Amino acid sequence: MPSVSLSDLFSFDSFAHACMFAVLCFLMIVGFTKQFTYPKLQHFAVRASLLISTLFGILIEILQFTLVPGRTAEIMDIVSNTIGCIIGIIIFKWVYIW
């Protein structure tokens, strides 16, 4: 098992991951809600963007581990990406709903 500490969650790297995925998830929700081709996607925009962006973050870590020599996949990056997605959802709800 890799060693994971809580202090890794508050590093600049984790902050950058969370910010980038917050922007990704926020913009994805906005795009899904403004399209009219797929009504179900428009209705489930928050869930779809959370699922897609979280899976995208996991895929990035897997590809980084398998394709780039000397790079490793880090669990804290996946956690930071997911936290960023949740922050993006909160920001969307704060701007558009509340």
**Contact in structure between 17 and 84 (CB atoms under 8 Å):** yes
pLDDT at residue 8, rounded to an integer: 67
Query: What does the pLDDT look like over 47-88, one tens digit per residue?
Result: 999 999 999 999 999 999 999 999 998 999 999 999 999 999
What per-residue string of b and e applies to 12-29 under the rule 16 or more CB within 10 Å gives b?
Answer: eebeebbeebbebbbebb
Pairwise CA distance, residues 58 & 67, whole Å: 14
* Residue 78: predicted pLDDT: 95
